[in-house]
Every structure is written in C-alpha cells, then in structure tokens.
C-alpha cells in the first residue's frame, strides 16, 4: 500500500521543512476518522512505533540544539508511517523536558577564577571538579558524586548543553507534522498515543526514555522504568526513530539492549529506522562514529537496522 493511499490529502513530506506552524489537529483527526481503517485493537500482529524527541529544538534549524538532517529524517519517517499506518498498533512519543537549573546547564557551574559559566558543549570531567576548575553552584556534594558516577556507570563525562526543550516553550513541542500524524493515527485506528515525558530531574541527565544516566535516589521517576520497557517490547515488532541518533535514540536503544540482553528473542523484535535518525554535531567529538559503533553492536545481538525505503519488512 503506497503512502498516498493512506495519507490524508493535507499531508506533504515537505511539511517537515516549513518551520513552526500550528498543528492542524482537527483537520487531521477528521481525515483519520474518514480513513476507514480497522481499530488497532483488532491487529493480529502488534507493531509499536517509538518516536524519540522529534521536538522543535532538535528538528528545526532555528532550534537551540538543532540536529543537522533532522528535517529530512522527519520527512522520511512520516512517508514510511503513512504507508504502513494501517499496521501500526501503538505509538510512543517522548518529550525531552527541562527546567532552568539542571546539572548539564551553564547555570549549575562556574569558574571560580573568572566567574564565568561554562559555554555550551564544554566537557566537565572528574578532574575538572576535583581540581577546582569548575565549581558546582548547586548541590555541591551530589555534583561531585555525579561526575564520578557518570564516568563509572555510564562511561561518560558531563556535557554542558545549550538551553533546549524548556518546559512550556516552542522548543519543547513536537514538530507539527508529527503531532498531526499522531492525531490522524489516533482517530483512524481508534487508539490513544502514549507520551513519555523525560528530563525533569534536575540532578541528572536523561537521554534514554527509560531512565536517567545516573538515577537520583531523591526522584523515583529517574529510576529505570522496567514497566515501560516490558510494555513496549510485548509488541511483535518495535520500530525506533527520533533525535538525536548520537544521544537520546542511542541511549534509549542501549537501555533496551541491556535490559533484554538475556532474552535474545525479544531483542530480535527491535528495528531501528536508521535513515530517520541523525547525530548531534560537536566541534571536536565525532558523535556519529561513536553511534555507528554502538548500532553495529546491536546488530550483532539481533537488532534489525533498516531504512524507511525498505517498507515494512516481513
């Protein structure tokens, strides 16, 4: 079935490049009601689509942490989606959600010699904190513990990010074509979308949709969400897409692979739409190369790396 045979007349893949606009929820919902598709509850094969952080700040070039190639990713993803929406049972869409004071923002740290805050894309290491190059202005004891735990548990150094996906801002919203697709699918298949809010815990980073890099004992929401892991992977097949390949998509997949490492049959249900994900560009770190190494590891464990042009593999 072709993309045009299911997509509403208002859909155009070029919508991904329009910039911010008010999502046409009523129009797409009505088109969904008129689509004549069977309810998702009748699906014999249950397919889940997991959309990671397709938000304005990551997708649109005007976003504060824009990912090069993200608009093209959205266009390809939606073309694939409308071609196969009659077989997609459930959609899970995550929303990276932040507050002004978080451990990965400039507001948390200061150079005690100059009084300056770290610029975005600054790396703060264990040694930087131990030797006093960067001073935590909040939660000093936890902050010192955090950079050590991050290195030991997540094998990372703390990265300072531009302010992005701030709660209640334009940057936080899903890009309009994604919101329209969710509304259309909900009406067409008579099922609710599932929204996953992540990133509100101030004292930790929250790349993966299932839990924080270093769980904060003061916030249960930062612990690994095993119920969500089990719920999503109960589907017969799970397709993963989103932004950024190098961070939130990668960590979400890593959490899945690690949790189900002793259940290879479950891992074989996971499909990564590799042409619907792109990596953050950093001045000195080749994030995409690191992501490709991890994807190759998943493939050796049975995860399927596919492209939207492959259709819906049998």
- Cross-strand pairs, 198: 96
- Provide the whole-model pTM: 0.95
First to last CA, the chain: 14
**What are the structural domains, with CATH classification, of the chain?**
3-36+45-99+167-310 (3.40.50.850), 106-159 (no CATH)
70-84 vs 176-189: helix crossing angle, rounded to 10: 10
- Would you write out the chain's pLDDT as a tens digit for each of its 314 residues? 344 468 999 999 999 999 999 999 999 999 999 999 999 999 999 999 999 999 999 999 999 999 999 999 999 999 999 999 999 999 999 999 999 999 999 999 999 999 999 999 999 999 999 999 999 999 999 999 999 999 998 889 999 999 999 999 999 999 999 999 999 999 999 999 999 999 999 999 999 999 999 999 999 999 999 999 999 999 999 999 999 999 999 999 999 999 999 999 999 999 999 999 999 988 888 999 999 999 999 999 999 999 999 988 76
């Amino acid at each position: 079935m072709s993309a045009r045979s299911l997509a509403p007349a208002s859909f155009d893949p070029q919508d991904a490049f329009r910039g911010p606009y008010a999502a046409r929820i009523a129009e797409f919902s009505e088109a969904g009601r008129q689509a004549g598709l069977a309810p998702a509850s009748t699906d014999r094969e249950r397919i889940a689509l997991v959309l990671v952080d397709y938000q304005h700040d990551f997708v649109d070039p005007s976003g504060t942490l824009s990912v090069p190639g993200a608009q093209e990713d959205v266009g390809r993803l939606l073309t694939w989606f409308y071609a196969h929406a009659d077989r997609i049972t459930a959609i899970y869409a995550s929303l990276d959600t932040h507050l002004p004071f978080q451990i990965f923002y400039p507001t948390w740290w200061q150079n005690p010699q100059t009084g300056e805050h770290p610029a975005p894309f600054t790396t703060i290491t264990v040694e930087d904190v131990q030797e006093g190059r960067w001073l935590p202005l909040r939660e000093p004891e936890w902050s010192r513990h955090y950079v050590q735990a991050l290195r030991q548990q997540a094998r990372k150094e703390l990265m300072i990010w531009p302010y992005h996906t701030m709660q209640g801002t334009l940057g936080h919203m899903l890009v309009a074509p994604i919101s329209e697709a969710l509304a259309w699918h909900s009406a067409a298949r008579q099922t609710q979308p599932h929204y996953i809010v992540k990133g509100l815990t101030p004292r930790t980073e929250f790349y993966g949709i299932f839990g924080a890099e270093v769980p904060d004992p003061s916030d249960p929401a930062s612990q690994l969400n095993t119920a969500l892991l089990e719920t999503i992977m109960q589907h017969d097949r799970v397709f993963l897409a989103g932004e950024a390949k190098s961070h939130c998509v990668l960590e979400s997949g890593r959490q899945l692979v690690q949790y189900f490492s002793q259940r290879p049959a479950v891992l074989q249900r996971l499909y990564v739409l590799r042409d619907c994900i792109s990596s953050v560009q950093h001045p000195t770190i080749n994030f995409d190369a690191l992501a490709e190494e991890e994807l190759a590891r998943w493939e050796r464990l049975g995860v399927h790396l596919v492209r939207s042009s492959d259709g819906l593999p049998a």
